[in-house]
Amino acid sequence: MTTTEPKKKIKFDMAQFGADDRVAMSRMYDETLKNFIVGSIVSGTVLEVRSNQVLVDIGYKSEGIVPGSEFSNISEVKAGDSLDVLLEEIENDDGMVVLSKQKAELKIRWDNIAETCREGSTIEGKVRSRVKGGLIVDVAGVDAFLPGSQIDVSPMRDVDRLLGQTIQMKVVKINPERRNIVVSRRELIEDQLREKKKKLLAEISIGQLRKGVAKNITDFGVFVDLDGMDGLLHITDMGWGRVNHPSELVSVGQDLEVVILDIDLEKERVSLGMKQKVANPWNDIETKYSVGTRIKGRVVNLVPYGAFVEIEQGVEGLVHVSEISWTRRIARASDVLAVGDMVDVVVLNMNKDEQKIALGIRQTEQNPWELAAQKYKVGDRIQGSVRNFTSYGAFVELDDGIDGMIHVSDMSWTRKINHPSEVLKKSDLVDAVILEVDASNRRISLGLKQTQDDPWSNIEARYTVGQRVIGKVTTIATFGAFVEIEEGVEGLVHISQISDTHVDKVDSALAEGQEVEARVVKVDPSERRIGLSIKAVSMPDEEFDKQKDEIISGLRRGDDMVDLAGALDAALGTGKGGEEWRPGAAPKDEE
């Protein structure tokens, strides 16, 4: 390594000089020293260029050295070149002045920054590198720190895209002594946005069309950048029809044209709309869809009570579950329909003010009950399959979707039927007679017993008062015994008519299945009652004729006859069974 030889120090003998010369030389030396202050910038001339250092004359008693590493290309440096250098040390151990070209340049740049930049001023710089917490920006050769929070108004995901770019910033803090500059790009952007917002608010007006870009999408709407501020496009103002979520119509970054709906200058808020660009389809709805119009639509939403059907963009109608089928009982619309289904519907009702349309699906087909009223007449004998039971009767399928009901009271002329399963089974093919057709309430009443002759229709011709009959005890009750005198016909022997002697309990004198002989004491075909007396069997006819009125009057009211709707119930300990079939009620399967 080549070292620089220091200049030889010349020793002067001041004695050879006169007093005035010595004073002059001392002053000159003092003035020279005053011009060389450590940390100051001085001008110099290149004396010699060596492999790793440059020798510079700054006018001091000895030359200065500048490291070759401080030159970008030392080969381009020539003797005689002028340099500004920073005086780092007056004299090192070798008697040489220590100089720095880079530090001089940095100090010059910082001095320029200090003169031209003030806190709050706008500067320009090139993003040089990324560091922890932010970016380093080269501002006129000086590194400035741009914190991550000050890069943009919103968090920037891809910060690296700014590397190498020249950007404008605002000086937040400058400290020349510590050589520290903090800048903010965000504050500059915010200032620009405030100016844009101010300008935009001065320009816009309600009803005006503006262009914007979808910036952010939420569940309740879209925030649109109007180039100055954001406006809210609420989901209810996106379309005249159903919009389940804003993303169905708009995507982030999409160019939009919107209508200014409202401006709040105090809160600096703008409400926007898209549907207002076109006419409200409900304006002329009555002229397009009158009651009875048949149209095709798409199921757009299902609720427990029905289905919403879109018949055109922005116009929906409700099909209630009761308007889906003429014959089926639909519990939920989703049981038969799905979102997206195309269906034929008929307009049933319309309320333009409330923007409601009632639609029906079943009205697209002929009501089978209207046909039933023409097809089935009272008195007709029909055949059908037993479909299901309730406690009060059986439902018989007559046609597809058309059921008739046989009430338990119409299953037998003579028997008390407590449940239809005592007579019928599911899927049985039965003959029945139509008793009533009520198409408006969707009801057909059927009779099973009406397919046979009523044994009580000519009962007076077969049984007369005083006639002796033989029968079998069928039921024991507290007040007497029921005796079957022919198939389907029973009479009642009151407890007072069992024996000439007093009877405390019926079952002590009679038993079920026992065959007995009795006299007919009363016949009432209208009430379907026959009164019997066992003790009167032994009476001669003449005596019976004399006592029959006394026998009848001796019976307690209501106990002297068979009452299939009352006395037999009392005997069996049961009430009048089953709920009644209400008009229009749908059949209910019994477990």
Residue 588: inside a domain? no
CATH code of the domain in which 322 resides: 2.40.50.140
Residue 363: inside a domain? no
Taking Cα atoms as reference points, which of 377, 388, 380 lies closest to residue 421?
A: 388
In this predicted structure, what is the pLDDT of residue 65?
Answer: 82
Q: For residues 96 and 131, is the Cβ–Cβ distance under 8 A?
A: no
Residue 194: inside a domain? no
∠ CA 258-263-269, rounded to 5°? 90
On whether both 141 and 208 belong to a single domain, the answer is no
Convert 464-476 to b/e letters by CB count within 10 Å (16 or more is b).
ebeeebebebebb
In Å, how far are 117, 238, 245, 396 from 147, measured between CA atoms? 19, 39, 37, 84
Taking Cα atoms as reference points, which of 392, 472, 378 lies closest to residue 432?
A: 378
On whether both 310 and 262 belong to a single domain, the answer is no
Please, is 229 exposed, middle or buried when counting C-beta atoms within 10 Å of its C-beta (0-12, 13-18, 19+)?
buried
On whether both 413 and 324 belong to a single domain, the answer is no
On whether both 122 and 30 belong to a single domain, the answer is no
Query: What's the one-letter identity of residue 355?
Result: Q
Residue 32 neighbours by CB distance under 10 Å: 12
Taking all residues of the chain, what is their mean pLDDT, rounded to a whole number?
Answer: 81
On whether both 424 and 496 belong to a single domain, the answer is no
Strand runs (DSSP E) across 116-208, as ranges?
122-131, 134-139, 142-147, 166-175, 180-184
Taking Cα atoms as reference points, which of 512, 511, 529 lies closest to residue 520?
A: 529
Residue 542: inside a domain? yes
Query: What's the one-letter identity of residue 570?
Result: A
Residue 533 forms beta bridges with which residues? 519
Query: What's the one-letter identity of residue 252?
Result: V
Over residues 344-385, the pLDDT tens digits come to 999 999 998 888 999 999 988 888 887 888 888 888 898 999
Residue 378: inside a domain? yes
In Å, how far are 221, 224, 280, 341 from 277, measured between CA atoms? 17, 16, 9, 29
In this predicted structure, what is the pLDDT of residue 423?
Answer: 86
496/509 Cα distance (integer angstroms): 12
Tell me the two tokens of residue 437. 């057709």
Residue 584: inside a domain? no
Tell me the two tokens of residue 281. 């389809």
In this predicted structure, what is the pLDDT of residue 308?
Answer: 94
In this predicted structure, what is the pLDDT of residue 158?
Answer: 84
Over residues 505-519, the pLDDT tens digits come to 999 999 999 999 999
Residue tagged 């023409």 (tokens)? 374
- Domain termination residue (choose one: 451, 475, 496): 451
Residue 318: inside a domain? yes
In this predicted structure, what is the pLDDT of residue 2?
Answer: 40
Which residues form the domain of 341?
A: 285-356
- Domain termination residue (choose one: 405, 429, 451): 451
Helix or strand holding residue 42 (H, E)? strand 41-49
In this predicted structure, what is the pLDDT of residue 564?
Answer: 39
Taking Cα atoms as reference points, which of 253, 306, 278, 530 lies closest to residue 414?
A: 530
479/506 Cα distance (integer angstroms): 7
Residue 7: inside a domain? no
> Per 3-state DSSP, what percentage of the chain is helix, strand, and coil (rounded to 5)?
25, 35, 40
Domain count, the chain: 6
The alpha carbons of the chain give a radius of gyration, in whole angstroms, of 58
159/136 Cα distance (integer angstroms): 12
570/562 Cα distance (integer angstroms): 11
On whether both 400 and 487 belong to a single domain, the answer is no
Q: pLDDT 10s per residue in the chain (591 long)?
A: 344 444 443 444 545 555 555 555 455 444 444 467 776 778 888 888 888 888 888 877 777 888 877 787 887 888 888 888 878 777 777 777 888 777 777 777 777 777 677 777 888 889 999 899 899 988 877 788 999 888 888 888 888 888 998 988 888 887 777 778 888 988 888 888 888 888 888 888 898 899 999 999 999 999 999 888 889 999 988 888 778 899 988 999 999 999 999 998 888 889 999 988 888 888 888 888 889 999 999 999 999 899 999 998 888 999 999 999 887 888 899 999 999 999 999 999 999 888 899 999 998 888 888 788 888 888 889 899 998 999 899 999 888 778 899 999 888 887 778 899 988 999 889 999 999 988 888 889 999 988 888 878 888 888 988 899 999 999 899 999 999 998 878 899 999 899 988 999 999 999 999 999 999 999 888 888 899 999 988 888 888 887 777 777 655 444 444 443 344 444 434 333 334 443 333 444 443
On whether both 246 and 321 belong to a single domain, the answer is no
Residue 38 neighbours by CB distance under 10 Å: 10
On whether both 478 and 560 belong to a single domain, the answer is yes
19/4 Cα distance (integer angstroms): 37
Tell me the two tokens of residue 237. 């103002």
- Domain termination residue (choose one: 312, 335, 356): 356
Please, is 421 exposed, middle or buried when counting C-beta atoms within 10 Å of its C-beta (0-12, 13-18, 19+)?
middle
On whether both 84 and 27 belong to a single domain, the answer is yes
Residue tagged 């920073």 (tokens)? 86
